[in-house]
Amino acid sequence: MKRVWKHAPARFHIGFITVAFLVLISFGVTAFYNGPDISLYNSFKKNLPASFDHFLGTTALGQDTFWMLLFSLRNSILIGLIVATFGTVVGVLYGLIAGFVGGALDRVMMTVADTFIVIPSLPILILMTALMGGSMSIVPLALVLALFAWAYPSRHVRAMCLSMRERDFIHTARFSGESMIQIIVTEILPYLLTWSLSNFMNAVLVAIGQESSLAVLGLSSSKLPTLGNMIQWARNRNAILAKQWLWVGSPIVTTMLLFITLFMLISGYNDYIAKKRGI
């Protein structure tokens, strides 16, 4: 990490610091919250302006906008982390097995993966979330989004594994009696960790974007505070017409900041890897 920080471009540093700050305030500050349930209506007076008691005022539903924003940010990041972890782990292992084994099993596994790639994910996600009636918690919602998060990375990993399995050190490992799992875990997987980390960060970005899209369409969980749901609730209550800019603007600005800094973090890290490899 020290080497990456020293040689990575400036946008990596900016992205890392900003993302770390957002994660810290969303998970750290909310851990000390001891007020009423933020999802309850009429916990405070409605439409209060920003003040020392309510840093971003209150909503038309009688909720504290500041705390609603922090909990929404925390849940959105948590959804992104769950989806990225599932998609990266499953995709990498799936692609490794398919690429290393080859033959008929490889063709069958890649047919399944290609099916998930070519199917448009948004209509399926809309259908699944609509069938669940908007009552999902964080984990079920994240698993629904993760359904399409593993196929694309498995394709990349499989291609890299096909080239690596013919190298001399893999043949040496086979002749020394190592099993397929041992070769995959100890010989091939270490070469894919850098790519996997980059894919993980990108998957977090995509997952947060997908959840926000579903929420703005009114198809995310109706009770789960997320950045997308916060925008949707403000839109439903005509926050723009009522000029409640802090209510509708804070989740939009936070979402933009999160997306931009995540992109800076990913692109900066990829530039560091490219520079390290002499590309």
pLDDT value at position 278?
A: 61
Compute the C-alpha angle 209/214/217, nearest 5°: 125
Q: What are phi and psi of 203, to 5 degrees?
A: -65, -35
Compute the C-alpha angle 191/18/257, nearest 5°: 105
pLDDT value at position 7?
A: 83
For tokens 């990913």, the residue is 266
pLDDT value at position 68?
A: 94
Question: Cα(117)–Cα(150) distance, rounded to whole angstroms?
Answer: 9
pLDDT value at position 39?
A: 81
Burial 249-276 (b: 16+ CB within 10 A, else e): bbbeebbeebeebbebbbbbbbbbbeee
Q: Are 42 and 61 in contact (CB under 8 A)?
A: yes
pLDDT value at position 14?
A: 95
pLDDT value at position 8?
A: 87
pLDDT in tens, the chain (279 residues): 778 888 889 999 999 999 999 999 999 999 989 888 888 888 899 999 999 989 999 998 899 999 999 999 999 999 999 999 999 999 999 999 999 888 899 999 999 999 988 888 778 877 877 777 666 778 888 888 888 899 999 999 999 888 888 888 888 888 888 888 888 888 888 888 888 888 898 899 999 988 888 888 777 777 789 999 999 899 888 888 888 999 999 999 999 999 999 999 989 988 888 887 665
pLDDT value at position 144?
A: 84
Q: Which contacts qualify for 127-131: CB closer than 8 Å, 24 or more apart?
A: 129/214, 129/219, 129/220, 130/219
Domains in the chain, start-ordered, CATH in brackets?
Answer: 73-225 (1.10.3720.10)
